[in-house]
Amino acid sequence: MAYSAGTVGNRFLLEISVETLEGAMAAERGGADRLELCAELAAGGVTPGTELMRHARERVRIPAFVMIRPRAGDFVYSDAEFEEMKREIATAKELSLGGAVLGILTPERRVDIARTHALVELARPLPVTFHRAFDELLDLRGALEDVIQTGAKRILTSGGAKSALEGAAMLAELITIAGDRIVIVPGAGISGANIVEVARRTRAREFHSGLSSELPYGSNDYKKFEAEVRKLSEQTGQIGQRQTNLE
């Protein structure tokens, strides 16, 4: 079985999505390995403001990937929106953030390879994650090959299902097909209660969570958020150690 890259020592990698500086700092304290910076998480996430990007870069030590999405809704963008995405990537590079998270589809519900590739090239040396626009596609196996063509380094996906646990069989298949060509990152509905099962079924090594199943988006209970991140972090550590012992 091929594995998705992404261990941190013996631990597997945990990415947490946040929309505030307080959330970013709480996630780091809780043991997150990487952040996904967003605004409007309740709407699936859009590009955060420059202020959040700058403050996260200044106050948080772990890598912060920034969502590049000009609006909520579908992932078919106008020329003007595409130009806006270019400007947002330029800002992320200027602020020395850790990576970019984006995705563009065609009206026919296929990966827009040309425009996504253009953004991947513009983002270099920042790595690009193709986000859950992937789950809108009709043929995930074919879409995997399309995303690989764009030069993106990761795909954040639930396997086309409502949650990563429900999509675990497809995620496992995508990870096998991908091999070491691209990293498949399970996301959607992952919490301390199910991450072990998601890992067991998918054999993934990177995981994404916004903890919306534990805390509603917009909550300012950062102590609880930190505690929930810590549960996930501890679980990824245990998963990684068990897998290391088996190898």
pLDDT (tens digit per residue) in 66-122: 999 999 999 999 999 999 999 999 999 999 999 999 999 999 999 999 999 999 999
Name the one residue in this structure whose structure tokens are 């953030």: 97
Look at residue 2 and tell me if it is in a domain.
no
Question: So what's the pLDDT on residue 104?
Answer: 98
Round to whole Å and give the CA distance between 130 and 188: 15
Look at residue 191 and tell me if it is in a domain.
yes
Look at residue 58 and tell me if it is in a domain.
yes
Domain that holds residue 45: 7-246
At 130, which CATH number? 3.20.20.380
Question: So what's the pLDDT on residue 74?
Answer: 96
State the average pLDDT over residues 231-242. 80
How many domains, in total, are found in the chain? 1
Question: So what's the pLDDT on residue 6?
Answer: 53
- Residue 103 half-sphere exposure, CB side, CA atoms within 13 Å? 30
Specify the higher pLDDT residue, 98 or 239.
Answer: 98
In the predicted structure, residue 234 carries a pLDDT above the cut 50: yes
State the average pLDDT over residues 117-137. 97
DSSP string, 179-233: TTSSEEEEBSS--TTTHHHHHHHH--SEEEE--TTTS-TT---HHHHHHHHHHHH
Token digits for 155? 């795909």
Look at residue 201 and tell me if it is in a domain.
yes
Read off the pLDDT of residues 163-214 as tens digits, 9 standing for 90 and up: 999 999 999 999 999 999 999 999 999 999 999 999 999 999 999 999 987 7
Going by C-alpha positions, the residue among 7, 4, 29, 6 that lies closest to residue 18 is 29
In the predicted structure, residue 244 carries a pLDDT above the cut 90: no
Read off the pLDDT of residues 1-45 as tens digits, 9 standing for 90 and up: 333 445 454 569 999 999 999 999 999 999 999 999 999 999 999
Question: So what's the pLDDT on residue 238?
Answer: 77
Residue 199 CB burial class (10 angstroms; 0-12, 13-18, ≥19): buried
Look at residue 224 and tell me if it is in a domain.
yes
Round to whole Å and give the CA distance between 169 and 99: 28
State the average pLDDT over residues 149-158. 98
State the average pLDDT over residues 158-163. 97
Question: So what's the pLDDT on residue 3?
Answer: 35
Look at residue 1 and tell me if it is in a domain.
no
Token digits for 164? 């990563």
Please report which residue ranges of 12-72 form alpha helices under DSSP H.
21-30, 50-59
Look at residue 137 and tell me if it is in a domain.
yes
